[in-house]
Structure 1
């Protein structure tokens, strides 16, 4: 009986991100974040820039540089993305987060507590819009990532005070899920009603243990939250009313990155391995082991992308061979 094909395969997309940067300059520069115009498929990044994905790939670096890569889909000999353009942020501070809004051809870039606006795909500075300052985190309505916002006049929403502040936020429609210094919270942006949900560190014997919160929108009316119990970490799906839905996923260690590709949830663990669980059965369906000694360095982040993308590879072409075909000449046989 044939073995079952695992749901994911690791594919290198960029051999060297900084190949055209002088050696004396590239030392110390790292990939900090990335986004791609691609299908909702996980992307693995490494400190040594070897892994990521998307037919248009946008990379943010620790020196404040934005880089745009693309793959030549019509050339099967090219097995890597090539750089098309680059843009340097004015403050040379690390790029912390990139949000691509293809429906309005804009890229939002968070750096040094400011959101900068650029055009897609060229990464030109958007004129007439000043950077938004004093930003800790930001969230884009997931509904508008794949479709255009409704027509009509732009309006300014009223400010909603957050007494405990916010460190991470994700939005779907009028619902915002965010973390403060201790808890996960649900906030209705229309009514300004806020509901504390649960702490992301439930190990009350070690309340000062640094535990990173994770919030992922499912694209529906619930969010995936990760909470450390002291023995393991739980992936819990909460509705916008704070009720548990779907199933619960368990990891032996607290993940360092989370990605959702329904019905799978993918996590990078501190040992560098990648675990894939099915949320319908809560079962572990695949483990990608840590990189080997001569492979890429530590895996640091998973990224989901939108719409279709191209994976450059000549593996399929190498399996194709020319074979002679005999053609029959003369009139076709009568029935």
Structure 2
């Protein structure tokens, strides 16, 4: 799906392309979630480079890799491997940390550790009783080391439990640092630097991991209790190292508030007529719901259950590029070709006297018939570049 809006200031040109047509196409996957007559579904996904990792509702962890097809066909993502988590419960979250080549997987209130990109399980027991999981966002943004033996810093993450928050680091293995008491717990958390923003059933709060101080900020919902409708889901988005965006529903619209790591409001506020499913920063140029309704055949007109950002970027196979970049015959001059009709002035070399020329160069100056020149022209097939383009870091 491609679009070029009439007002580029509103929505710039964009292209939406399916990455995997049928993620759970294999019949062996049916019914693994233990519910009769119900097939597993995609619950979450993440991508990096030429790999896509998908978590399903039955505890499957699928790895897809971009592979070449036949001549003239674009590359496509193909299922490479599959991991079955023990509990067969939904995979809630996948977090990729490329600087240490680790994939964190949250399933059934446990955090599992896998090697990137093979998804081989690491020999460490999963961390249990997890209510919320938050890797330092600044550590997620770290690039992969340029060489295998390069020095790598450990990454840090938080495990929110019922009565405390456990701090960990990870380089070669998970290392427990300390616990911070927390009354009331939380079920959503996002960390950036030494600040952790959490959401419990009612309130957003900011936790200072250096001073161990907790500051309430904003209710998740400001709507009257009798307003009806499902409760608003909390959304926390990391904007920068010391800035977050939190959303609050008031019964008629949703307000987005930017706050610092010290819980101070910054910038202006945002407003949505309905409560968003997800907020991505930087935002991809997706059309509005009214634009999608005008084209029911559009890919985006289908139900979007979740959006995810890929911090490291990933590759998208392009059929348009495959059609435009085909083998093309180009005429090249051979080594013995003599360009006709040209006058060349030769400079003397150290071994030649002034006024002297080499025989081959003298013949080239006199010029040759055009037909003789064409005999030395060779045709060479130049292959096109790869069909995969590196695009903005968005996953579907």
Task: Name the TM tier (shorter chain).
Answer: 0.7 to 0.9
Alignment CA distance shift 1:287-1:56 (3 Å): farther
Match of 1:292 among 287, 291, 296: 296
Asked whether the 8 Å contact 2:58–2:89 carries over to 1, the reply is yes
Aligned length: 299
In structure 2, C-alpha distance between the alignment counterparts of 1:294 and 1:247, rounded to whole Å: 34
Cα offset, 1:78, TM superposition: 3.5
Match of 2:261 among 219, 240, 257: 240
Match of 1:116 among 112, 117, 137: 112
Alignment CA distance shift 1:190-1:24 (3 Å): closer
In the alignment, is residue 81 of structure 1 matched against residue 74 of structure 2? no
Question: Once superposed, what is the RMSD of the aligned Cα atoms?
Answer: 3.0
Q: After alignment, is 98-107 or 178-187 more displaced?
A: 98-107
Match of 1:156 among 160, 173, 176: 176
Q: Name 1:133's counterpart in structure 2.
A: 128
Cα offset, 1:318, TM superposition: 1.2
Match of 1:228 among 238, 242, 249: 249
In structure 2, C-alpha distance between the alignment counterparts of 1:68 and 1:86, rounded to whole Å: 6
In the alignment, is residue 31 of structure 1 matched against residue 42 of structure 2? yes
Match of 1:253 among 274, 286, 290: 274
Higher relative helix content = 2
Alignment of 1:49-60 (within 5 A): 55-60=50-55
In structure 2, C-alpha distance between the alignment counterparts of 1:242 and 1:199, rounded to whole Å: 13
Task: Tell which structure's C-alpha radius of gyration is larger.
Answer: 2
Q: Which runs of 5+ in 2 are unaligned?
A: 33-37, 143-151, 156-168, 346-396
Structure-2-length-normalised TM-score: 0.68
Alignment CA distance shift 1:312-1:14 (3 Å): same
In structure 1, C-alpha distance between the alignment counterparts of 2:69 and 2:297, rounded to whole Å: 34
In structure 1, the residue corresponding to 2:178 is in which secondary structure? coil
Cα offset, 1:306, TM superposition: 2.0
Match of 1:172 among 177, 192, 208: 192
1:23-43 per-residue CA deviation (whole Å, 9 max, x = no partner) reads 8558521001111115xxxxx
Cα offset, 1:21, TM superposition: 3.2
Match of 1:67 among 62, 67, 83: 62
Q: Name 2:21's counterpart in structure 1.
A: 15
Structure-1-length-normalised TM-score: 0.79
Q: Name 2:383's counterpart in structure 1.
A: none
In structure 2, C-alpha distance between the alignment counterparts of 1:241 and 1:24, rounded to whole Å: 48
In structure 2, C-alpha distance between the alignment counterparts of 1:294 and 1:223, rounded to whole Å: 33
In structure 2, C-alpha distance between the alignment counterparts of 1:265 and 1:317, rounded to whole Å: 24
In structure 1, C-alpha distance between the alignment counterparts of 2:21 and 2:211, rounded to whole Å: 49
1:198-245 per-residue CA deviation (whole Å, 9 max, x = no partner) reads 001011354775110000111321111111111111122111111222
Asked whether the 8 Å contact 2:30–2:40 carries over to 1, the reply is no
In structure 1, C-alpha distance between the alignment counterparts of 2:24 and 2:267, rounded to whole Å: 42
Cα offset, 1:79, TM superposition: 5.0
Cα offset, 1:161, TM superposition: 1.7
In structure 2, C-alpha distance between the alignment counterparts of 1:90 and 1:114, rounded to whole Å: 11
Q: Which has the higher contact order (CA 8 A, sep 6+)?
A: 1
In structure 1, C-alpha distance between the alignment counterparts of 2:79 and 2:204, rounded to whole Å: 39
In structure 1, the residue corresponding to 2:134 is in which secondary structure? coil
